[in-house]
Amino acid sequence: MRHGLRCIGIVALTLAVAQQARAETLESALARAYAANPTLNSNRAALRGVDENVAQAKSGYRPTVSGSADIGLARNEGRIQGFNLDNVTRPGGASLTVNQTLFNGFQTDNQTRRAESNVLSTRESLRAVEMNTLFSAAQAYMFVLSDTANLELRRNNVEVLEEQLRQTRDRFNVGEVTRTDVAQAEARLAGARSEVSGAEATLRASIGTYRRFIGVEPRQLAPGRPLDRYVPPSLDAAVTIGLREHPQILAAMHAVDVAEASVKVLEGQLYPTAGISGTVQQRFDTQFPGDRSLNAQIVGRISVPLYEGGLTYSQIRQAKELVGQRRIEVEDVRDQIRSAIVTAWGRLEASKAQVIASQAQVQANEVALNGVREEARVGQRTTLDVLNAQQELLNSRVNLILAQRDRVVNSYGVVQTVGRLTVRFTALPVTAYSPKEHFDQVKDLWFGVRTPDGR
- Contact residues for 37 (Cβ-Cβ < 8 A; gap 6+): 133, 137, 213, 214, 215
313 has pLDDT over 60 = yes
Structure confidence at residue 37 (pLDDT): 94
345 has pLDDT over 60 = yes
Structure confidence at residue 287 (pLDDT): 60
Full DSSP string of 328-373: HHHHHHHHHHHHHHHHHHHHHHHHHHHHHHHHHHHHHHHHHHHHHH
User: Do 442 and 51 contact (CB within 8 A), yes or no?
Assistant: yes
Helices and strands in the chain: count of H runs, count of E runs: 11, 6
Tell me the pLDDT band of 16, cut-offs 50, 70 and 90: very low
More confident: 136 or 291: 136
Tell me the pLDDT band of 20, cut-offs 50, 70 and 90: very low
Lowest average pLDDT, out of 1-5, 182-186, 244-248, 252-256, goes to 1-5
Structure confidence at residue 378 (pLDDT): 80
- For the entire predicted model, the pTM comes to 0.86
User: Do 119 and 44 contact (CB within 8 A), yes or no?
Assistant: no
SS3 for 40-81 is HHHHHHHHHHHHHHHHHHHHHHCCEEEEEEEECCEEEEEEEC
Strands 292-303 and 273-284: antiparallel
CA distances to 19, 184, 190 from 25, in Å: 12, 43, 36
pLDDT in tens, 363-403: 999 999 999 988 888 878 888 888 889 899 999 999 999 99
Structure confidence at residue 380 (pLDDT): 83
User: Do 302 and 277 contact (CB within 8 A), yes or no?
Assistant: no
Kindly provide the b/e burial profile for residues 67-91, where b requires at least 16 CB atoms within 10 angstroms of the residue's own CB: eeeeeeeeeeeeeeeeeeeeeebee
Percent of the chain with pLDDT over 90: 71
Give φ, ψ of 233 to 5 degrees: -70, -20
Closest CA to 93 of 365, 308, 338, 294: 294
User: Do 214 and 29 contact (CB within 8 A), yes or no?
Assistant: yes
Structure confidence at residue 143 (pLDDT): 96
Query: What span, in angstroms and rounded, lies between the C-alpha atoms of 184 and 365?
Result: 21
User: Do 220 and 23 contact (CB within 8 A), yes or no?
Assistant: yes
Query: What span, in angstroms and rounded, lies between the C-alpha atoms of 273 and 301?
Result: 8
More confident: 1 or 235: 235
Of 280-294, 332-346, 417-431, the range with the highest mean pLDDT is: 332-346
Structure confidence at residue 80 (pLDDT): 65
**Cα 191 from chain centroid?**
41
∠ CA 398-404-406, rounded to 5°: 100
415 has pLDDT over 80 = yes
- Contact residues for 338 (Cβ-Cβ < 8 A; gap 6+): 239, 242, 243
What is the mean pLDDT of the segment spanning 416-443? 92
Tell me the pLDDT band of 168, cut-offs 50, 70 and 90: confident
- Contact residues for 33 (Cβ-Cβ < 8 A; gap 6+): 40, 133, 134, 136, 137, 213, 214, 215
288 has pLDDT over 70 = no
Query: What span, in angstroms and rounded, lies between the C-alpha atoms of 194 and 177?
Result: 26
Chain mean pLDDT for the chain: 89
Beta bridge partners of residue 361, listed in sequence order: none
Structure confidence at residue 124 (pLDDT): 96
pLDDT in tens, 68-101: 998 887 777 766 666 666 667 778 889 999 999 9
> What domains, with CATH codes, occur in the chain?
23-67+107-274+327-425 (1.20.1600.10)
Structure confidence at residue 77 (pLDDT): 72
pLDDT in tens, 198-230: 999 999 999 999 999 999 999 899 999 999 999
User: Do 280 and 296 contact (CB within 8 A), yes or no?
Assistant: yes
pLDDT in tens, 2-14: 344 333 333 333 3
18 has pLDDT over 50 = no
pLDDT in tens, 30-75: 999 999 999 999 999 999 999 999 999 999 999 999 999 988 877 7
137 has pLDDT over 70 = yes
pLDDT in tens, 253-284: 999 999 999 999 999 999 999 999 999 998 88
21 has pLDDT over 50 = no
